[in-house]
Amino acid sequence: MAQSSSITYDKRSTHEGLIRGEVYFVDASVLHLREFVDVETTVERLLYVYQYMDAHEQLRFRYDNTGHHKQLNLPTYPHHKHEGSDKQVVPSPAPDLAAVLGEIETLVQLPQ
């Protein structure tokens, strides 16, 4: 399913860092990801964004935990998912990268 990827790591302190990158799929869709993590005692994701775009650069979904939708009173706040557009926001528990890749696996169109 995945065709290529590009991941960078930016150490911010002795135990904090930013992971960012892209995973490119065989149907020209792409996952953009960012995680700001603290690994002092365990791996804690302080911030995450997983944004999946189709081959036409249209948003399929985005998971994130930024606090910009407090007014929606989501039961999973600040964790949420944008489905198909920035305006379609639904509650969602915090996924990990494996879960996001599993969801993308069901959406990728394999070449004929």
Write down how long the chain is: 112
User: What is the per-residue pLDDT across 33-55, written as a single tens digit (0 to 9) for each?
Assistant: 999 999 999 989 999 999 999 99
For residue 84, the 8-state DSSP code is: S
Q: Is 34 left (phi over 0), alpha (psi -120 to 50) or beta?
A: beta
The tokens for 61 are: 């979904």
Tell which residue, 28, 36, 35, 50, has the closest CA to residue 103: 50
Residue type, position 2, single letter: A
- pLDDT tens-digit series, residues 55-90: 999 999 999 999 888 889 999 999 999 999 999 999
Q: For residue 59, what are its two tokens?
A: 């948003």
- Global pTM value: 0.92
